[in-house]
Amino acid sequence: MNIYQYYSKNPVRALVYASSAVSAFFLGAALVGQYGFNLHPCELCIAQRVPYALIAMIGLIGGMKVMAQPKLEKVAFLCAFLFVADAGIAAYHSGVEMGWIKGPSACTNNDNPNQTLEEMRAAIMNAQLVPCDQPMAYFFGLSMATWNMMAASATALTLFYLLRRIRKQAVSHD
């Protein structure tokens, strides 16, 4: 049995492995941007990497260790929901970048006109080096957080759609 035949007979396992691979790719792209192009991440950028790391690990381990089909479907749904969580973090980050949402005080310029000089100095000295409200780069007019939101959303929607389709096929074959 070749790999195509194996995954044709095990489509949920293929989705779990694909989730892991896509997530590792997205995480790798972020690391290439950071180390290859000096696009240093802010606090919210780092937060967006956490679901990707979890999906990569859960998908790989789940694909290898989980044998029961219902449990494997739960792993696939967990991966899809983690993509949704990542999209949510990225949407929040995009809103902070666009000034629609007030960001975390640790990484956003939240000016307070009533601050004393000492309070301003302390805020400057304790400020994160990379602010969350200033994108490091734009691609085709969109920040990396916005692209990440779209990519994670599209991946989650695709996973939910394919899982639903697989379930329908399994019911029709029974």
Task: Retrieve residue 162's tokens.
Answer: 């394919």
Rounded Cα distance between 105 and 101, Å, is 12
Q: Are 163 and 83 in contact (CB under 8 A)?
A: no
Model confidence at 116, pLDDT cuts 50, 70, 90, reads: confident
Tens-digit pLDDT profile for residues 31-72: 999 999 988 889 899 999 999 999 999 999 999 999 999 999
pLDDT of residue 1 exceeding 70, the answer is no
Residue 12: what pLDDT?
Answer: 93
Rounded Cα distance between 45 and 42, Å, is 5
Rounded Cα distance between 11 and 144, Å, is 31
Domain at 51, CATH number? 1.20.1550.10
CB atoms within 10 A of CB 26: 22
pLDDT of residue 117 exceeding 80, the answer is no
Number of domains composing the chain: 1
Residue 107: what pLDDT?
Answer: 64
**DSSP annotation string for 72-126:** HHHHHHHHHHHHHHHHHHHHHHHHHHTTSS---TTSS----TT--HHHHHHHHHH
Query: If 0-12 CB within 10 Å is exposed, 13-18 middle and 19+ buried, where does residue 81 land?
Result: middle
Rounded Cα distance between 109 and 107, Å, is 7
Model confidence at 27, pLDDT cuts 50, 70, 90, reads: very high
Task: Retrieve residue 21's tokens.
Answer: 């691979």
Q: Are 108 and 131 in contact (CB under 8 A)?
A: yes
Residue 104: what pLDDT?
Answer: 76
Residue 21: what pLDDT?
Answer: 96
Tens-digit pLDDT profile for residues 124-169: 566 557 788 888 888 899 999 999 999 999 999 999 999 999 988 8
Domain of 118 in residue numbering reads as: 3-173
